[in-house]
Amino acid sequence: MSSETSWPLWEVFTQGNAGEPFEHAGSLHATDAEHALQNARDVYARRGEAVNLWVVPSSAITASAPSDAGPFFEPGNDKAYRHPQFYKVPQGIRVF
């Protein structure tokens, strides 16, 4: 219909409170990083949802493939020795 080029797509990550991890909030279109930050502020933080923002060009994100799900993540499921509950502490010691 028109030959107009779209503005690039960006992914927006918001930090709800200082010290918390950044979470993916959604995406938007903007022409450059500063522009994306401004748009992210208006689109994803207008109700005070964020104290910090990250914007990342969507094209820069590499995602694991669904077919990777097994080999990538399942081997982590049965390594109980990575969790503190795996280890016994003599009774009466309370620092844990």
Partner 1 sequence: MTQTTVPQEDPALLAAFEARIAAGESIEPKDWMPERYRKQLTRMMAQHAHSEIVGMLPEGNWITRAPSLRRKMSLIAKVQDEAGHGLYIYCGTETLGVDRHDLFNQLLDGSAKYSSIFNYPTLSWADMGVIGWFVDGAAIVNQTVLAKASYGPYARAMVRICKEENFHKRQGFEICATLAKGTPAQKEMLQDAVNRFWWPSLMMFGPSDKDSPNSAELLKWRVKRKTNDELRQRFVNLTVPQAQAIGVTLPDPDLRYDAATKNWEFGEIDWSEFWDVVKGNGPCNVERLEARNAAHDAGRWVREAALAHAAKNARSVSAA
Partner 2 sequence: MAAHEEEEGGVAAGEAKSGVGTVAGPRQAPLAAPLVEYLLRLGDDRLILGHRMSEWTGHGPILEEDIATANIALDLIGQAAQLLKLAGEVEGKGRTEDTLAYFRDGVQFRNCLLVELPKGDFGDTMVRQFLFDAHSVLLWEALAGCGHAGIAGIAAKALKEDKYHLRHSSEWVVRLGDGTEESRARVQRSLDRLWKYTAELFAADEIDDAVAALGVRVDAAGLRARWDAMVNEVLARATLTRPAEGAAQRGGRRGRHTEHLGHLLATMQSVARAHPGATW
Q: Give residues in contact with partner 1 (CB under 8 A).
A: 1-2, 4-7, 9, 26-29, 31-32, 35, 43, 46, 63, 65-66
Identify the H or E element spanning 32.
none
Residue 41 binds: one of partner 2, partner 1, none (C-beta under 5 to 8 A by kind): partner 2
Is residue 26 a contact partner of residue 44, using CB atoms and an 8 Å limit?
A: yes
Q: How far is the CB of 69 from partner 1 (least distance, A)?
A: 9
Interacting residues toward partner 2 by CB under 8 A: 7, 28-31, 34-35, 38-39, 41-43, 46
d(CA 10, CA 26): 9
